[in-house]
Amino acid sequence: MNATPRSDARAGLLAAAPARQAFLLLRTVFTVAPILFGLDKFTNLLADWPRYLAPAIDDIVPGTAQQAMYAVGVVEILAGLVVALVPRFGGLLVAAWLAGIIVNLLILGDDYDVALRDFGLLVSALALARLAVSEGGRGHRRRV
C-alpha cells in the first residue's frame, strides 16, 4: 500500500500528538492542583498545613504558622492561574515554588519522602515550561 500525502500528513499529526497531550495534561494538573491546594490552606481539610512549616521558617515569617499558610495559599492559587494563562512562565514559577517547599521539608527533617515526591513534581513543572515553548511560541497561550 502506497502512502498518500494525506496519510503522511495524518501520520505527522499523530506523531506530534503525544507531546501535545503531555503539554495539556501537565498544564491541567499544574493549574488545578495548586489552586485546590491553595484553597485548602484556608480550610485544612486535606492536611494540617501548619505542621509542614519548619520552625526555622516559622521564626522568620511574621504571624502564626496558619497565617503563613494563608499567604502560601494565595501564592499557590496565583501560580495555578499563571500556569493556566502563560504556562511557559507558570511552569517555571511552580518549579521555583516547589524548590522552596523542598528546602522547607528538608529543614523540617521528617518528610523526606514528601520532599522526594515534590522533586518529581518540580521536574514535571520544568517539563511543562519546556513543552509550552513549542506549544505557545513566546509564552502566550495557544487556543485549545
How many residues would you count in the chain?
144
Please, what is the average pLDDT of the chain?
89
Domain assignment present for 97: yes
Domain assignment present for 92: yes
pLDDT confidence band for 110 (50 / 70 / 90)? confident
The count of domains in the chain is 1
Residue keyed to cell 500528513: 9
Domain assignment present for 144: no
pLDDT of residue 11: 67
Domain assignment present for 83: yes
Domain assignment present for 141: no
Domain assignment present for 25: yes
pLDDT confidence band for 17 (50 / 70 / 90)? confident
Range of the domain at 67: 5-136
Domain assignment present for 90: yes
Average pLDDT over residues 22-36: 97
Domain assignment present for 22: yes
**What is the C-alpha end-to-end distance of the chain, expressed in Å?**
34
Tens digit of each residue's pLDDT (9 = 90 or more) over 44-96: 999 999 999 999 999 999 999 999 999 999 999 999 999 999 999 999 999 99
